[in-house]
């Protein structure tokens, strides 16, 4: 039986691993403590925060069909917030998200349905693959302490583009193309409150400011206790990616207070999260990468567009192509 290593247990990694496990032995390596990647939820005392991806849409028949079982079993739910648009501190539009363009979240955490997918897989967590070498016509994986993790016929990398590029062995025919993909960072500000703040919206996009998103995270299904989630623009994050997190936090407080015209410093829980690879600005012209002669492949949202649905589509299309080889 063909043996395959998948690096990364985000949605793309779990989807491609599930599909290939029907005809091959697949092992998934994940450096974090749980699956989901940027579909991340942080628990802090009485609060919880979706501090990575905020929601997702479903526009293609394949992704809609994929989601249906998770909608039925409660791992995914529709989120219909009161939505606002700001131009700087000026509120320019308010609407209600609803059935015409549904938006979804995982429940009770963003990664709940990825957790379900991973249960069927041979996943190892808190293991970082640091290098890959070719030995005796097999791919050998090593961790950060140069310990041998295993050897495989195929390797599939699903990490963000820049991390994938760094890990790809020289000689893989698509490595240079992956190197052209540029991913931008983002900061998330997590704010938990004992008492709710009276806002006229549950989610808001912001233009012409240093923050791009404000949401009442607790307005999502199965979230309790009032919390706010603020995200910076990619541009501001890139300009300040090496700034001390305490200073970043202070500035995000200031930016948010200016937009809301409110004092938000009464939070009883505050944390700032740095995402070095949040969005891709230079997507590729293909859904996945495949080097048949070297038996190396790569997929992820960054191949198409930095969205959760794109991660699924990239992985699904790669799996279809690889199943012809196995």
Three-state SS at 9: coil
Same domain, 196 and 253: yes
Same domain, 132 and 268: no
pLDDT band at 161; cut points 50, 70, 90: very high
Flag whether 201 is in a domain: yes
* Owning domain of residue 153: 1-31+127-179+287-326
Same domain, 134 and 264: no
CA distance 124 to 90: 48
Flag whether 120 is in a domain: no
pLDDT in tens, 60-111: 999 999 999 999 999 999 999 999 999 999 999 999 998 778 999 999 999 9
> In the chain, what's the furthest Cα-to-Cα distance?
64
Same domain, 230 and 276: yes
Same domain, 195 and 261: yes
- CA distances, 256 to each of 178, 201, 220, 243 (Å): 35, 14, 20, 18
pLDDT in tens, 192-201: 999 999 999 9
Flag whether 117 is in a domain: no
Same domain, 149 and 171: yes
Angle at CA of residue 119, ends 113 and 123, nearest 5°? 115
CA distance 321 to 104: 29
Average pLDDT over the chain, rounded to an integer: 94
Burial class for 159, CB neighbours closer than 10 Å (0-12, 13-18, 19+): buried
Same domain, 98 and 44: yes
DSSP string of 238-258?
A: HHTTTS-HHHHHHHHHHHHHH
What's the total number of domains in the chain? 2
Same domain, 270 and 165: no
Domain end: 261, 281, 301, which one?
Answer: 281
DSSP string of 266-316?
A: T-SEEEEEEEEEEEESS--SSS-EEETTTTEEE--GGGT-SSHHHHHHHHH
CATH number at residue 104: 3.90.660.10
Flag whether 232 is in a domain: yes
Same domain, 140 and 170: yes
Flag whether 237 is in a domain: yes
Question: Is 282's pLDDT higher than 70?
Answer: no
Same domain, 4 and 84: no
Same domain, 235 and 171: no
CATH number at residue 16: 3.50.50.60
Flag whether 251 is in a domain: yes
The two structure tokens encoding residue 56: 């997702």
What predicted TM-score, i.e. pTM, was given to this entire model? 0.93
CA distance 326 to 310: 24
Same domain, 107 and 195: yes
pLDDT in tens, 150-160: 999 999 999 99
Angle at CA of residue 256, ends 254 and 258, nearest 5°? 70
């Amino acid at each position: 039986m063909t043996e395959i290593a998948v690096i990364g247990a985000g949605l793309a990694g779990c989807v491609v691993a599930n599909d290939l496990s029907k005809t091959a032995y697949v092992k998934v390596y994940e450096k974090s403590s749980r699956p989901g990647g940027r579909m991340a939820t942080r628990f802090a005392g009485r609060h919880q925060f979706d501090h990575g991806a905020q929601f997702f849409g479903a526009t293609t028949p394949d992704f809609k069909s994929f989601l249906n079982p998770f909608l039925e079993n409660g791992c995914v739910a529709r989120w219909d917030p009161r939505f606002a648009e700001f131009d700087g501190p000026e509120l320019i539009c308010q609407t209600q998200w609803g059935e015409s363009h549904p938006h979804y979240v995982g429940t009770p955490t963003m990664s709940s349905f990825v957790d379900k997918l991973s249960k069927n897989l041979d996943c190892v967590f808190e293991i970082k693959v640091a290098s890959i070498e070719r030995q005796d016509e097999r791919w050998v994986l090593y961790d950060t302490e140069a310990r041998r993790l295993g050897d495989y016929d195929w390797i599939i990398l699903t990490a963000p583009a820049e991390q994938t590029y760094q890990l790809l062995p020289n000689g893989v025919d698509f490595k240079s193309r992956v190197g052209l993909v540029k991913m931008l960072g983002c900061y998330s500000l997590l704010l938990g409150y004992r008492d709710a703040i009276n806002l006229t919206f549950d989610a808001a996009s912001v233009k012409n400011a240093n923050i791009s998103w404000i949401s009442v995270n607790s307005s999502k299904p199965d979230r309790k206790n009032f919390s706010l989630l603020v995200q910076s623009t990619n541009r501001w994050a890139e300009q300040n990616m090496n700034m001390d997190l305490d200073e970043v936090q202070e500035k995000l407080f200031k930016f948010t207070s200016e937009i809301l015209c409110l004092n938000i410093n009464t939070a009883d829980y505050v944390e700032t999260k740095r995402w070095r690879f949040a969005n891709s600005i230079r997507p590729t012209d293909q859904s996945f990468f495949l080097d048949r002669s070297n038996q190396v492949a790569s997929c992820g949202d960054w191949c198409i567009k930095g969205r959760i649905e794109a991660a699924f589509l990239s992985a699904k299309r790669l799996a279809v192509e690889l199943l012809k080889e196995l």
